């Protein structure tokens, strides 16, 4: 039930005036004629006065003469906006401009053929095939041999997870759509193939869940948002098709914060399995919650700015955000064409490696032109002590309470620093020599409006139609308001921001020169930075607070260097075992 008050007429009038001023509604020919003569524009004010107001928003100042000269051209621009808005542009249509994280002249390691994942080197984890809870929380790399040998059938696993999704899904508010018919058909097919000796690999017969921004033909794809709750897209996303080919079994479409922000969707707030009073964070809210709670074997999430890192931290899962362009976004909701990335959320680093290997690379006929084929030479038995590892000095030194708004927040920040420092100490005891490093010396935090501008363009029609009112969250830090604010971002500043972004990418490449991987706090400036540069990251549990909820640490690395980052993260997991714990759910 939507308990928000309906918009008042006065607010509607304000909105119409604002959008008219920004060219949102356009103007009739007679009104345009007046505007060209310095008369009234569509918002009821002289065009030159509207230009003056625009100067305030953009931090510029023109003379009266310059404003008079601009008036005709500004009106023509608005007319062009109106013409373009007559074109129906689907969310799946990308801009003609593309982001490439690889800088000119940057050389990669010589290509090597992919190495098939070897058997786990993790300390033995006992899995009792006769115990359903043991199976429910087993990592994929431990489930796979059981399925391959026939000790546990895919159909049995699938029914187990479907039962848990039906029983615990409503409590966690993490499920939007069960795909039971599809799942059981896939599971029976997997069992038949395995019996016939046609084993497809470690994901064959393993049930998984998809963040509901991935389209699956025959099922709703809601994007977690009320305006799209009945949307059906007659197309199956590339990632889903890749996992189908690997023999994995899709059991559910999982929640996401509406249009990929937060953990609040049209059905409620997705819960943290470790503490049901908390949200699971977002936006891959359901993917992390369901994986942590043993409702799926693994899940696929997406990240633009923290949407894999944040819910994985909150729910104690292991998440991989791959290098930009390594996984096809064909069939995924677009939020930011230059920042969106798809990746696995699992119960271990080794699971992330298995899933990533299945979903990476170019698929013929797909619509995502940013995808590249790069080798993934994953070898879990490689000597991790040979890695050259850095750490972001600023994340582990200085006053951790800087910026705290109250003592409670300061206490939490001090506690978080303690966990982060413990990670460094663990790595040193593992025999890893840590090299201090600094992030680029540029105002990259000011580049965040790149995301706002692209997201507002992706959902332009939602703003102009007024259907953004249907979204549950209507506060300053929510999409409806951010989409409106983004209408004030000048195109020139968007381009300039992307030019500064190139400088940030160059500096980041210099900082990582000679390193294979590095360690950072999960919520430091490094999070935005690497989502802008396209560098990969792996987030893993790093301990538990006094209240029993998980903490995390992030391992980052060079472009297309996932195997080294995963190797370091896996070694840390094996040394600590935090990922082996799971929440107790009735």
Instruction: Please list the active-site residues.
Output: 211, 283, 307
**What are the angstrom distances between the C-alpha of 533 and each of 100, 111, 376, 406?**
9, 22, 20, 33
Surface-to-core class of residue 90, CB atoms within 10 Å of its CB (0-12 exposed, 13-18 middle, 19+ buried): exposed
| Residue 423, both tokens | 């990670």
Residues 352, 388, 417: CA angle, nearest 5 degrees: 70
What is d(CA 232, CA 423) in angstroms, rounded to the nearest whole number?
A: 45
Q: Which of 275, 253, 293 is nearest to 133 (CA)?
A: 293
Query: Omega of the bond prior to 283 within 30 degrees of 0, cis?
Result: yes
> In sequence order, what are the residues at sequence separation of 6 or more whose Cβ sits closer than 8 angstroms to the Cβ of residue 264?
257, 258, 279, 282, 472, 473
| DSSP-derived secondary structure for 173-198 | T-EEEE-HHHHHHHHHHHHHHHHTT-
| Residue 289, both tokens | 């919650």
| DSSP-derived secondary structure for 461-530 | HHHHHTGGGGSS--STTSHHHHHHHHTTS-HHHHHHHHHHHHHHHHHHHHHTTT-SEEEE-TTSTHHHHH
- According to DSSP, the β-strands at 537-544 and 550-557 are antiparallel
Q: Which residue has the tokens 């893993």?
A: 540
Sign of CA dihedral 406, 412, 416, 417: positive
């Amino acid at each position: 039930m939507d308990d928000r008050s309906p918009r008042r007429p006065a607010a509607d009038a304000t909105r119409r005036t604002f959008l008219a001023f920004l060219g949102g509604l356009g103007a009739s020919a007679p009104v345009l004629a007046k505007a060209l003569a310095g008369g009234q524009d569509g918002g009821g004010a002289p065009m030159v006065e509207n230009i003056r107001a625009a100067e305030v928003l953009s931090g510029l100042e023109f003379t009266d003469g310059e404003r008079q000269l601009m008036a005709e051209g500004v009106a023509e621009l608005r007319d062009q906006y109106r013409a373009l808005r007559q074109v129906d542009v689907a969310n799946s249509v990308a801009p003609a401009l593309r982001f490439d994280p690889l800088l000119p002249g940057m050389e990669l390691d010589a290509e090597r053929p992919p190495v098939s994942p070897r058997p786990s080197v993790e300390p033995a984890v006992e899995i009792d095939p006769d115990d359903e809870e043991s199976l429910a929380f087993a990592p994929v790399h431990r489930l796979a041999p059981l399925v391959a040998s026939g000790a546990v059938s895919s159909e049995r696993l699938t029914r187990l997870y479907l039962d848990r999704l039906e029983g615990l899904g409503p409590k966690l508010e993490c499920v939007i759509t069960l795909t039971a018919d599809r799942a059981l058909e896939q599971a029976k097919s997997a069992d038949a193939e395995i019996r016939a000796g046609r084993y497809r690999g470690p994901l064959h017969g393993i049930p998984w869940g998809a963040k509901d921004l991935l389209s699956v033909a025959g099922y709703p794809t809601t994007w977690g948002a009320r305006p799209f709750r009945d949307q059906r897209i007659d197309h199956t996303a590339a990632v889903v098709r890749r996992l189908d080919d690997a023999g994995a079994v899709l059991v559910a479409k999982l929640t996401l914060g509406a249009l990929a922000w937060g953990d609040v969707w049209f059905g409620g707030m997705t819960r943290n399995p470790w503490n049901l009073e908390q949200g699971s964070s977002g936006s891959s809210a359901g993917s992390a919650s369901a994986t942590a709670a043993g409702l799926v074997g693994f899940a696929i999430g997406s990240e633009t700015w923290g949407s894999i890192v944040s819910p994985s931290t909150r729910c104690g899962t292991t998440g991989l955000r791959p290098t930009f362009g390594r996984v096809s976004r064909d069939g995924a909701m677009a939020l930011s064409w230059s920042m969106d990335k798809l990746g696995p959320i699992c119960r271990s680093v080794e699971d992330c490696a298995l899933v990533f290997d299945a979903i990476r690379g170019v698929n013929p006929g797909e619509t995502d032109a940013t995808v590249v084929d790069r080798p993934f030479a994953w070898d879990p038995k490689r000597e991790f002590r040979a890695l050259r590892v850095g750490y972001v000095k600023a994340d582990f030194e200085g006053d951790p309470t800087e910026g705290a708004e109250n003592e409670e927040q300061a206490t939490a920040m001090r506690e978080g620093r303690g966990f982060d420092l413990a990670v460094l100490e663990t790595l040193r005891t593992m025999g890893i020599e840590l090299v201090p490093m600094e992030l680029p010396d540029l105002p990259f935090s000011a580049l965040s409006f790149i995301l706002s501008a692209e997201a507002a363009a992706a959902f332009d029609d939602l703003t102009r139609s007024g259907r953004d009112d249907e979204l549950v969250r209507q506060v300053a830090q929510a999409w409806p308001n951010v989409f409106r604010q983004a209408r004030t971002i000048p195109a020139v500043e968007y381009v300039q921001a992307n030019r500064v972004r190139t400088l940030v990418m160059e500096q980041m490449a210099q900082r990582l020169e000679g390193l294979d991987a590095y360690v950072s706090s999960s919520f430091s400036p490094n999070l935005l930075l690497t989502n802008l540069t396209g560098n990969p990251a792996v987030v893993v549990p790093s301990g538990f607070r006094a209240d029993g909820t998980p903490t995390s640490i992030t391992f980052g690395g060079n472009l297309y260097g996932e195997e080294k980052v995963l190797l370091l993260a896996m070694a840390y997991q094996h040394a600590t075992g935090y990922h082996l714990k799971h929440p107790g759910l009735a």
